[in-house]
Structure 1
Amino acid sequence: MSARPGVGEERSMRVASYNIRKAVGLDWRRDPHRVVDVLGEIDADVIALQEADRRIGTRAGVLPLDRLETELGYIMTDVSIRPLSHGWQGNAILVRSRLFDHVAERILLPTMEPRGAVSVRLRQPDLEVIGVHLGLTPGMRRKQMLTLQKRLEDCDHPVLLAGDFNEWNSGRLPFAAPATVVSPGLSFHASRPTASLDRFVLGPGLRSVSAHVHHSALAKRASDHLPVVVDIAFTTRNP
């Protein structure tokens, strides 16, 4: 996290979202260390991950947590209900260890699939990041997004949604002002990107300074999605 001076602004942060496909790359090898290397390239403060565990059996997590902490300074927020899982329903959030003071929770969404959302609320700066992986059918996605829109409206603190919205048509995103949808660019399929499935939604008190899809040679092999990144500024004072 670094200071970026500006009128009415105090701080800025980098948030990323990455569907890692259970660490299975385009070569069909499960290589979690390759995913860690991509995360190191991005250098975000907070990272929302999707498909961070295996979806059958014990639903064990796929990432080397020791390496994430010792080399990159990330800790995974505790939202799992299974002892070996990373996150909940495949959704996980990594935060820099210097932002350790936080509260994490699971968020129930309308669903007929093992989907959902997870949240981490940082205390300094006061920010809630919600990681999402939405459903495959248009009707269910809309219900899920309306639930998330209601949460944005009800919160009295800055909230950022980050994740794989699984929505090919940007006109079907129901988020209304003052929320802002940020689509960094084409992120799927990594071999030939044609869709902006991975997005951010910024609630009141937040502004997008810049956003991009992370197009490194390694990222183009590590998963079928490319990571997306947003640098945000706080437009209201947080104590």
Structure 2
Amino acid sequence: MRKLLTALVVVLTVVPTVAAAQPDASRPVRPVTVMTYNIHHGVGIDGVLDLERIAQLIEQSGADVIGLQEVDRHWAARSNWEDQAAWFGNRLKLHVAFAANLDLPPVNPGEPRRQYGTLMLSKYPIKHFTNTLLPLYPTGEQRGLAVARVKVRGASLRFANTHLTSNNHAERLEQAQKVVELLGTSKTPTLLVGDLNAIPTAPEIKTLTAVLHDTWTEVGVGPGYTSGAADPTKRIDFQLHSAGLKPLQANVPVTPASDHLPVVASFELR
């Protein structure tokens, strides 16, 4: 695995068809709906590559801010060399920020670089977007923490999106510790979403929930299993939040569009 020295971030500005609501001084509490979804580069449990059904799922969820994992940009034939970040932005008319955790030269000179990572989509402008590479073991795959500031009807939301390693507990624990370090103790309401590849009782998740609240345990109903999609048995996809965000409800929509199920939650942002 090629070791990357820097994290590449691509921000694609797509103006929504409907303008974001203006701040209302008489209403200090702002509702916001959030989705996290590992999309498996658009390939569902039926083996079909279909970005449209994912786009429709996002629309149906009513999500204002979305964190996607396992997103391809000109990556390989498996996703028809599609720039999936641009595709979702154009299809949904949302603001887009892509973090390339893997960044390889093109197959042929002059073609776009091959990138793979995480994607943020938002009805509101994405500000101050960064991606920081997380600890990497010699046999691992590079992962990152993407962080953005989103202005939601006049209120600031810090939105973080990650995908922790799947095959090494020690590496994943170091990554979780780095996430806590990077997020720090900001007073800005913060949401961390992503495929964390560990169940709630794992030490790496406990590291995160020592400083952030687990939305599902607060307002979710049932086990909230997200993996695998055909017959889910584990909850490894999370929405974790800080003070300033009050969770109202959370659900796991059932869909064959990926090998994971998404998590959708609604909050009051203060």
TM tier relative to shorter chain: 0.7 to 0.9
Structure with the bigger percentage of strand: 2
In the other structure, the counterpart of 1:151 is 182
- Cα distance change, pair 101–166 in 1 and its aligned pair in 2 (3 A): closer
Match for residue 36 of structure 1? Answer: 55
SS at match of 2:184: helix
Q: Counterpart of 2:71 in 1: which secondary structure?
A: coil
Aligned ranges 1:150-189 → 2 under 5 Å: 150-172=181-203, 173=205, 174-177=207-210, 179-183=212-216, 184=220, 185-189=224-228
Q: Is the 8 A contact 1:22 1:62 kept in 2?
A: no
Residues 1:110 and 2:110 are matched in the alignment: no
Q: Find the counterpart in structure 2 of residue 119 from structure 1.
A: 147
Give the letter aligned to residue 117 of structure 1: L
Q: Deviations over 1:63-89 (max 9, x none)?
A: 3735x445533232154467566xx74
Q: How does 1:185-224 map to 2 (within 5 A)?
A: 185-215=224-254, 219=255, 221-224=256-259
The answer for the alignment partner of 1:5 in structure 2 is none
> Structure 1 64/160 Cα, relative in aligned 2: closer, same or farther at 3 Å?
closer
**What pairs with 1:57-76 in structure 2 (closer than 5 Å)?**
60-61=81-82, 63=84, 65-66=86-87, 68-69=88-89, 72-76=92-96
Aligned to 1:110, what secondary structure does the other structure show?
A: coil
1:230 aligns with 2:230: no
1:143-162 CA-to-partner distances (Å, cap 9, x unmatched) read 11111122333323111100
List per-residue Cα deviations over 1:179-227 (Å, max 9, x = no partner): 2022351111110111101001102222211111112xxx2x1111111
Match of 1:31, as an amino acid?
D
State how far apart, in whole Å, the 1-side matches of 2:209 and 2:126 are: 31
Q: Is the aligned partner of 1:135 residue 2:165? A: yes
- Relative to the length of structure 2, the TM-score reads 0.72
**SS of structure 1 residue aligned to 2:261:** coil
Aligned equivalents of 1:176, 1:207: Cα separation in 2: 16
1:91-110 alignment to 2 at 5 Å? Answer: 91-96=118-123, 99-100=124-125, 102-110=127-135
Alignment gaps of 5+ in structure 2: 1-19, 22-26, 105-111
Residues 22 and 78 of structure 1: is their aligned pair in 2 closer, same or farther, counting only changes over 3 Å? closer
For residues 106-128 of structure 1, give each alpha carbon's deviation from its aligned partner in whole angstroms, at most 9, with x where no partner exists.
12211231211212211342011
- Counterpart CA distance in 2 for 1:168 and 1:78 is 26
C-alpha distance in structure 1 between counterparts of 2:249 and 2:84, whole Å = 28
Q: Residues 42 and 129 of structure 1: is their aligned pair in 2 closer, same or farther, counting only changes over 3 Å?
A: same
Q: Does 1:49 find its partner at 2:49?
A: no
**If the length of structure 1 is used for normalisation, what is the TM-score?**
0.81
Give the alignment of 1:18-33 within 5 angstroms.
18-33=37-52
| Residues in 1 aligned to 2:243 and 2:117: alpha-carbon distance in whole angstroms | 28
Q: 1:48 to 1:84 in 2, by over 3 A?
A: farther
Is this contact kept in 2: 1:188–1:196, CA < 8 A? yes
Post-superposition shift, 1:134? 0.3
Amino acid at match of 1:167: A
**TM-superposed deviation, 1:105:** 1.1
Deviation of the 1:232 alpha carbon = 1.4
* Residue segments in structure 1 that go unaligned for 5+ positions in a row: 3-7
- Indicate the larger mover: 148-157 or 124-133: 148-157
Alpha-carbon contact 2:75-2:116 (below 8 Å) kept? no
| 2:30 pairs with one of 8, 11, 14 | 11
1:210/1:231 contact within 8 Å kept = yes
CA contact (8 A) 1:61 1:84 kept: no
* Identity in percent: 27
